[in-house]
Amino acid sequence: MRFVLRSKIHKATVTEANINYLGSITIDEALIEKAGFWIGEKVLVVSNMSGSRLETYVIAGKRNSGIICMNGASALLIKKGEEIIVMGFELIDKSIKPINILVDKTNSFVKFL
């Protein structure tokens, strides 16, 4: 069994950072579905700007809003305006083809990678 990449949102822009929330990353519900994430799923978030890396869980934001919000302590590591990658992994005993999506600066779906 190995952990392999299953889903990725590439080049998303953080639209909000809410230190007062208890934790998680809020992601536009349409992007959650397009990338194949689950609500509550553990994800790795990497900043392409600061190099910060953290694990958190997914909560749904308003559909087609473009929201990507770092909540709680993660808002101290990754700030509004940063470009990030959000990745989900799966423990599996076979090779899989991950769902990788590219978004633009407004977090609108561009294409599958």
- Residues annotated as part of the active site: 24, 57
Would you say 12 and 79 are in contact if contact means Cβ atoms under 8 Å apart?
no
Would you say 62 and 29 are in contact if contact means Cβ atoms under 8 Å apart?
yes
Write the DSSP string, 35-68.
HT--TT-EEEEEETTT--EEEEEEEEE-TTS--E
